[in-house]
Structure 1
Amino acid sequence: MNADNLVDLASRAMGGSVVYANDESFADRENLINPGPARFNPRDFGAKGQVYDGWETRRRRESGSDHAIVRLGAPGLVHTVLVDTAHFTGNYPPQAAVDGCCVDGYPSPAELATAQWFPLVDRSDLTGDAVHTFPVGEPNRQARVTHLRLTIFPDGGVARLRAHGVPLFDPDLLPAVFDLAAAEYGGRVVDCSDRFYGSPGNLLLPGLAVNMGDGWETRRRRDDGNDWVLVELAGAGGVHLLELDTTHFKGNAPGWAEVTDGNGRTLLPRTRLQPDTRHRFRVTDPGPVDRLRLDIHPDGGMARLRAYGSLTAPARDAVAHRWQRATTLARDLR
């Protein structure tokens, strides 16, 4: 699977949370999972000293290490971990390790302290002001992960922690009707014509877009073509309602849009769009489909794409099988 098409399972945009850190004397733990790159102003000082857009612990005067625990916004399979020390130059940790665990329900930090963790990234060297990419090896990358534990040796600052992978939603909690394109359920972008101003993966994020940068926007076309994005759904199902949201896109919304399935069958014929508007369209021939192609004419920006429907019985069974296999493996790795 192309890394560009993986979801950051830990991101605040997906509902992730940093539920615990043993120390955050200089910079708050919550910064670890903020969307977007870390910011830095060398003249920005506060009561704790230089302000850092990351997590920073005190200078240790005793042996040991520091750690933070992240609840994934979308539990799933972690393929790649990114540890970003952006702007931390004389205060980054020399080494770090990342572990995962698979815990049912909504455990407290105290309960997570006694969880059975398994390694995703072995203790590895870090450098300052750099993005470190660590592929997760087999079989651990096939195990379902609900929480991450970042351990830094011995102390210091990390700007961002990313966990790129594939969501695996608990089938017992899967609604009968839901957004089949949603990233949190396993929908993903597999191809697109252009991503000049914004990632097409933003189309599938939870919630409403907060601004134009939280959507997908293409460059201005100077030819007779149009832009498009291809989405693989969480599973094959019948799509009954489409939502095309141009919120925040005012002078740069597409003029028209159409939606087809993976075989070219039309779900929404070419239709006029309005700027800064959530458009909803009933689908008269709902499927089943496993892919959607959104064509925008000629170019522009879209905040969100929703495809509300129900999985077929075989697709729901396949989701349950993948979840059970990954959960069993995680328990075996303990």
Structure 2
Amino acid sequence: MTESPERPEPPAPPFASHPDLVLRTLGGSVIAASDESFAAKENLVNPWPPAFSPGTFGAKGQEYDGWETARRRPDASGELGHDWAIVRLGLPGVIRGIVLDTAWFTGNFPPYASVEAYGADGRHPSPAELAAADWTEVVPLSLLKGDAVHAFPVDAARRFTHVRLNIHPDGGVARLRVHGEPVPDPRLLDGLTVDLAALENGARVVECSDMFYSAPDHMLFPGTARNQSEGWETARRRGPGHDWAIVRLAAPGVIRLAEFDTTHLKFNAPAAVALAGIDARTGDPGDPGAWHELLGRTRVQPDGRHRFRLPAAREVTHVRLDVHPDGGLSRLRLLGDLSDGGTRLLTDRWNALAGGRGEGERAPSPGGFTTR
């Protein structure tokens, strides 16, 4: 098979610092499409960059790593219509920007596209129910180019669970990316032991010492990493000191158990880890003396899960993960309880976003307690 040609990566738009809510590895799924004659709709949310092997022809023509529909023709009434795909977000949340990538589609890309969004409150609607839903336009009908990345900022202060990509009239799109801020349903977290460091619950890495090989948010993903690229890994440290990452928890709470997973990191795991916490509502994360120890420096092994119960701890909003001297983790889990204040913050945010806000109003900061 011919290797995929080189394709330069364009600069990432500012909103791409937010996680891709529709990513397959986060639970995203393309649940319905008007047509997928040439290439499967599921390719839209593949986590890897679009690939292309010229001269690979199957029964339906050249194979593409994307979604491609048949050529449309006017119906009996003369209407041409357009194609569409409905996508369930893996992480429901506030959408900050959308990327449409027509990689490798040069003579068969759609000339125009638009995107709509919908928020289903606590339900799991069928494709038929979604088709009849009241959708909100978040990207108006816009001009597309072939083999190009198109970035569209979104300003809609709502919590959404689904998006609908409309292409006019037909053609192929390689990838759909929906960047934003996860907004968890507090009714599913209140009163339970939860992972306060889970991306799907609203946690984020807000600062780190190094992300040479991969982004630190990866270690907050659900499930088990399939390989070492799906975690956080730093460069080899040649000088003094150690690497670290600061995690803003889903909401203020008390951590009862910490899990450090080095699965697949066989020769690049840290020698030891440590954990510190702070309540950023009363302390300054920029002050080293404001942090308190949750877990002292503790040895870990390559390619395995390490779980430690923490002593009776104080309420925290952020944790600092220290890895000595460098290396990586595939996953970090911090199991504990939301505090009363944490539950209130999540509930207030849910009430503000699940029902929608006025046009042009901005969503509040994630969790309501971000300081950095």
TM-score (norm 2): 0.86
Alpha-carbon deviations, 1:95-144, whole Å to 9, x = none? Answer: 1111101123000000001100011111111111121111112xx2x111
The answer for the alignment partner of 1:279 in structure 2 is: 306
Task: Name the counterpart of 1:56.
Answer: 68
Alignment correspondent of 1:40: 52
For residue 323 of structure 1, what is the aligned residue in structure 2?
350
SS of 2:129's equivalent in the other structure is helix
CA contact 2:15–2:153 (8 Å) conserved in 1: no
User: Where do 1:1-334 residues align within 5 Å?
Assistant: 3-62=15-74, 63-104=80-121, 105-137=123-155, 140=156, 142-174=157-189, 176-262=192-278, 263-329=290-356
**Greater per-residue strand proportion:** 1
Structure-2 separation of matches of 1:145 and 1:90: 33
Identity percentage of aligned residues: 53
Is 2:16–2:97's contact at 8 Å kept on the other side of the alignment? no
User: Counterpart of 1:58 in structure 2: which amino acid?
Assistant: A
Q: CA deviation at 1:287?
A: 2.2
Shift of the alpha carbon at 1:43?
Answer: 3.1
Mapped to 2, the partners of 1:332 and 1:172 lie a distance apart of 27
Distance 2:326 2:139 in 1: 41
What is the number of equivalent residue pairs in this alignment?
329
* 3-state SS, counterpart of residue 220 of structure 1: coil
Distance 1:5 1:313 in 2: 30
Unpaired stretches in structure 2, ≥5 consecutive residues: 1-13, 75-79, 279-289, 361-372
Query: 2: CA distance between counterparts of 1:255 and 1:289?
Result: 26
Q: One-letter code of the match for 1:311? A: L
Letter in 1 for 2:185: D
Q: Which one-letter code corresponds to 2:24 in the other structure?
A: R
Contact 2:262/2:269, CA 8 A, preserved across alignment: yes
The superposition leaves residues 138-189 of structure 1 with CA deviations (integer Å, 9 ceiling, x where unpaired) of xx2x111011000011111111111111111122222511101100010111
Counterparts of 2:313 and 2:104, CA distance in 1: 50
| Cα shift at 1:261 | 1.2
Report how far residue 280 of structure 1 moved.
Answer: 0.4
- Displacement over 3 Å in runs of 4+: 2-5, 330-333
CA RMSD of aligned residues (A): 1.6
Indicate the SS of the match to 1:8.
Answer: coil
* Uncovered stretches (5+) of structure 1, i.e. residues with no partner: none
Q: Give how far 1:195 is off.
A: 1.1
Q: TM-score, normalised by structure 1?
A: 0.95
Contact 2:56 2:62 in 1 (8 A): yes
Say which SS state the counterpart of residue 329 (structure 1) adopts: coil
What amino acid maps onto 1:268 in structure 2? Answer: L
